[in-house]
Amino acid sequence: MGAGQRYLFMHIPKTAGMVLYQRLIHHHGAGAVHPLPFDQGRQGAYMDINYVANRMRQNPEIRVIAGHYPLCLDEVLGIPLTTITVLRDPVERALSMVRQHQQRDEEFRDKSLDDVYSDPVLLHGLIHNYMVRVLTMAPSELRNGVMTMVPYDENRLEKAKHNLEHRVDVFGLQESFEAFCGELATRFGWGLGDGAAYPNRTEPTAVSDELRERIAHDNAFDVQLYDFAKRLLARQSTTATG
């Protein structure tokens, strides 16, 4: 593969990632951002590690990998990657994902939010402490990509905090997404364009306190990581302006 800086946008689902993907294309061009135009809609294009490895070998012009990949993708591919990502409040992220599946997937259309949340593939693959998972997975754990179930304990949480602070080059919060895009523009000189529509935004629906509490309990490690991320950003902001 050709020389030059390459980037990983570690897309955590339901964090305005598709908006950033379009903005990355706006700056870099469609031929420089994976998934490429002809990959759109192909199964695995956003999360299959073998798929992206083949694409990188076949298309050395790719400068940005965008998708549901773990932080350790650089180790798997054997190339240095400058990593960016966006985090979101774990309860709100889970509810957004559950609403999306309920509103768009026929199999969930007549199910309650509680039942959709309980779907084992959705819960264990894309919700359960997902942010801690993708920040800490080792290449040896990638049996099913980012949807691989892993054990959680305090050591994994501390590793996630360490990696967020020391291995992720730029991160932001979904609640301040435009500020994050501004940081990317400042840091890398990217022209990401103006604010765009959010195509995957779901319609708000009533949610019981019991479900919110259940999600927070199930995703306690992600909750702690998100609180750490907010404090870290605040500290970095104070240092930058001090």
CA distance 226 to 49: 26
Closest C-alpha to 124, from 209, 218, 47, 14? 218
pLDDT digits (tens, 9 = 90+) for 144-194: 999 999 999 999 999 999 999 999 999 999 999 999 999 999 999 999 987
Does 204 score more than 90 pLDDT? no
CA distance 71 to 161: 13
Find residue 9's DSSP bridge partners.
66, 84
**Peptide bond preceding 35: is omega within 30 degrees of 0, i.e. cis?**
yes
Q: In CATH, which superfamily holds the domain spanning 7-231?
A: P-loop containing nucleotide triphosphate hydrolases (3.40.50.300)
Cβ proximity of 155 and 137 under 8 Å: no
What's the chain's length in residues? 242
pLDDT digits (tens, 9 = 90+) for 107-147: 999 999 999 999 999 999 999 999 999 999 999 999 999 99
pLDDT band for 205, please (50, 70, 90 cuts). Answer: confident
Cα 159 to Cα 86, 100, 132, 221, 225: the distances in Å are 18, 31, 8, 11, 10
In the three-class reduction of DSSP (H, G, I as helix; E, B as strand; rest coil), residue 144 is classed as strand
Helix axes 220-241, 90-104, angle to 10 degrees: 120
Residue type, 240: A
